[in-house]
């Protein structure tokens, strides 16, 4: 059998480049928010599953938090219920919350778990209600236009924010060699369920798990400057400057703020990467150049 020397050298170079990163991150926890095209396109879905399994096989501890906005919207449409948004958040009444739980905790979560297990993983699906994992409270949302003297309080229903995360069930799964897959649904003191933004859940979970990295999969290349050039290797100070000068604005601002808060709270780095690229997670973690935006903090584990 003939060997393509050029192809073999490329493979050897990639493996050699990955080795120091594998050594550095062994035993560390990586929290990945899974969403966007990577959850819909079959090729990307399988590539994501293989990436997560590879992380586990080489000694890292991946924890997956997933979204599911489009799937929720599709089911609401099928049952004849219109979706309404305020500030990018879905207004979630009791009937909508039932659909959210059905889609996130049932359909989407089970699909991801099945996908990972079909590729040889041992994945376990959870919602934030299982094991009292995510405690939540109702999010207070206010809006003020230039014509208004005082902010208007808008009731957005069962939309929540994280008040506490109990990681004991996640720790148990990690030590049992399982991959946790978490739907971002929280439980309030009143026993009510709350729909929580998946980026926020991933960020808070990364903080509580003392994670090495937080990875947010998106449908964009990452953070771009005013000339459409990808920005990476950003310090906390630099991110603050980019927010102040308006480079970071609009829909990217909440995602960047989520990443920024994580690295301010002992997560070594946060990555915003393009989930439309096959094997995006592996390329970001195990290559020198990476593919997205990296925000780094002052992490004491870097010197271990």
In a domain, 9, yes or no: no
What CA–CA distances, in Å, run from 219 to 98, 266, 280, 292? Answer: 27, 27, 11, 11
Q: What is the mean pLDDT of residues 250-273?
A: 91
pTM score:
0.91
In a domain, 168, yes or no: yes
Q: Give the count of domains, the chain.
A: 1
CATH code of 180's domain: 3.40.1160.10
In a domain, 58, yes or no: yes
**pLDDT of the residue at 202:** 97
Contacts of 274 (CB under 8 A, 6+ apart): 217, 218, 219, 220, 221, 222, 280, 291, 292
In a domain, 211, yes or no: yes
In a domain, 107, yes or no: yes
**pLDDT of the residue at 259:** 93
In a domain, 2, yes or no: no
Cβ-contact 201, 209 below 8 angstroms: no
Condensed to tens digits (0 to 9), the pLDDT of residues 71-108 reads: 999 999 999 998 888 877 888 999 999 999 999 999 99
**Does pLDDT of 65 surpass 80?**
yes
Q: Which domain holds residue 136?
A: 19-299
Cβ-contact 123, 56 below 8 angstroms: no
Mean pLDDT of the chain: 89
**Does pLDDT of 218 surpass 60?**
yes
Condensed to tens digits (0 to 9), the pLDDT of residues 259-269 reads: 999 999 989 99
Q: What is the mean pLDDT of residues 234-257?
A: 88
In a domain, 13, yes or no: no
Residue that has been written with the tokens 């899974």 in this structure: 34
**pLDDT of the residue at 140:** 84
């Amino acid at each position: 059998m003939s060997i393509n020397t050029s192809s073999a050298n490329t493979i050897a170079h990639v493996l050699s480049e990955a080795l120091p990163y594998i050594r550095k991150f062994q035993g560390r926890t990586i929290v990945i928010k899974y969403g966007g095209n990577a959850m819909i396109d079959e090729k990307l879905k399988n590539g994501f599953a293989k990436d997560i399994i590879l992380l586990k096989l080489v000694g890292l501890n991946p924890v997956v938090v997933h979204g599911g906005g489009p799937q929720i919207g599709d089911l609401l449409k099928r049952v004849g219920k219109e979706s309404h948004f305020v500030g990018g958040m879905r207004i979630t009444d009791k009937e909508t919350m039932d659909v959210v739980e059905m889609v996130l905790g049932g359909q989407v979560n089970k699909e991801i778990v099945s996908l990972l297990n079909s590729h040889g993983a041992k994945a376990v699906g959870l919602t934030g209600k299982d094991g009292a994992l995510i405690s939540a409270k109702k999010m207070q949302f206010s809006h003020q236009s230039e014509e208004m003297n005082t902010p208007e309080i808008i009731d957005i229903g069962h939309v929540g924010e994280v008040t506490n995360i109990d990681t004991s069930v996640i720790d148990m799964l990690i030590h049992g060699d399982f991959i946790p897959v978490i739907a971002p649904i929280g439980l309030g003191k009143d026993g009510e369920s709350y729909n929580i933004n998946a980026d926020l859940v991933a960020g808070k979970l990364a903080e509580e798990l003392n994670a090495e990295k937080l990875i947010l999969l998106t449908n964009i290349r990452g953070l771009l400057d005013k000339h459409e050039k990808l920005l990476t290797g950003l310090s906390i100070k630099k991110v603050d400057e980019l927010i102040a000068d308006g480079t970071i604005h609009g829909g990217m601002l909440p995602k960047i703020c989520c990443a920024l808060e994580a690295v301010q709270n002992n997560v070594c780095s946060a990555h915003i990467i393009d989930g439309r690229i096959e094997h995006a997670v592996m390329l970001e973690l195990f290559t020198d150049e990476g593919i997205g935006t990296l925000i780094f903090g002052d992490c004491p584990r870097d010197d271990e």
